[in-house]
Structure 1
Amino acid sequence: MKSTGIVRKLDELGRITLPVELRRTLDIEERGQLEIFVEEDRIILQKYEPTDIFTGEKNELFDFCGKKVSKETIIELAKMAGILD
């Protein structure tokens, strides 16, 4: 892990502000979404990229009941259901 040398204080609501230089470098847009991970005593922020809920695939995603599903998964499910051969 690489240190940026940036230190920020939490505000009274537990929020932090990411410096604009960091947001530009990581291509994080205004109001962009970040995914939060915890690893031991570390909090990891990562730019959110939607993925297929079953496979993690990032290409050709469709919304189904508020979830992302890839075209590949839809085809596999159709095969399992006997709709496609």
Structure 2
Amino acid sequence: MRATGIVRRMDDLGRVVIPKEIRRTMKISEGTPLEIFIDKDGGIIFRKYSPIGELSESAQRMSECVSALCGAGVAVADRDRIVASAGIPKKDLLDKPVSKQLEELMRKKTPFVSSGEDTVLAADGGLRTANAAFPILSEGDICGMFMLIKDEKAHPGEPEENLRLAKLAAAFLGRETTD
């Protein structure tokens, strides 16, 4: 754990303000869920909560199933990073931060389906793009995205059955976060 050198006082309602610089750096905005931990030395630790990150094993198994059925690469992202992928080399996307394009889709809770040549960059600094991305919603809140990754050798776009599978996977993962 590294010190920031910033000290804040708690108000009479028990609130502490997280400085703007830290919120910006950590991509914490209004409504971002935070998990609270107490370490062995009595310190209080805040960590961004990721319901999809908690389900990374399920997300990985779902990715593998959909990839096998579609014959295409797939990836699952929480709000910050790619947490699961299948059908593509793991090093291409796994644990990389999501792209600005994907962040914007999540902010709007908007699905994306390529009309042919347009795609969405999956991860910052990555080369992999998505032909389709579907929001993973839990009780109306965005938790992440389920993506069909573009195969450079395949025809542009995605077959309708692949899109239905990806929508189903996103809906399933969203339901799993509430159980």
State how far apart, in whole Å, the 2-side matches of 1:30 and 1:18 are: 11
Runs of 4+ deviating beyond 3 Å: 55-60
Aligned in 2, Cα 1:65/1:19: closer, same or farther, shift over 3 Å?
closer
Aligned in 2, Cα 1:62/1:15: closer, same or farther, shift over 3 Å?
same
Partner of 2:20: 20
Higher RCO (CA 8 Å, separation ≥ 6 residues): 2
Per-residue Cα deviation, 1:13-54 (whole angstroms, up to 9, x for no partner)? 1110001110010011122110001112111100111122xx
Partner of 1:62: 174
Q: Shift of the alpha carbon at 1:63?
A: 1.2
State how far apart, in whole Å, the 2-side matches of 1:65 and 1:3 are: 33
Aligned in 2, Cα 1:22/1:13: closer, same or farther, shift over 3 Å?
same
Unaligned runs of 5+ in 1: 68-85
The answer as to 2:154 corresponding to 1:42 is no
Cα-Cα RMSD: 2.4
> Identity of aligned pairs, percent?
42
The answer as to 2:118 corresponding to 1:6 is no
Unaligned runs of 5+ in 2: 60-82, 85-145, 147-172
SS at structure 1 position matched to 2:174: strand
Give the letter for the 1:23 counterpart.
R
State how far apart, in whole Å, the 1-side matches of 2:49 and 2:177 are: 19
Q: Shift of the alpha carbon at 1:56?
A: 7.5
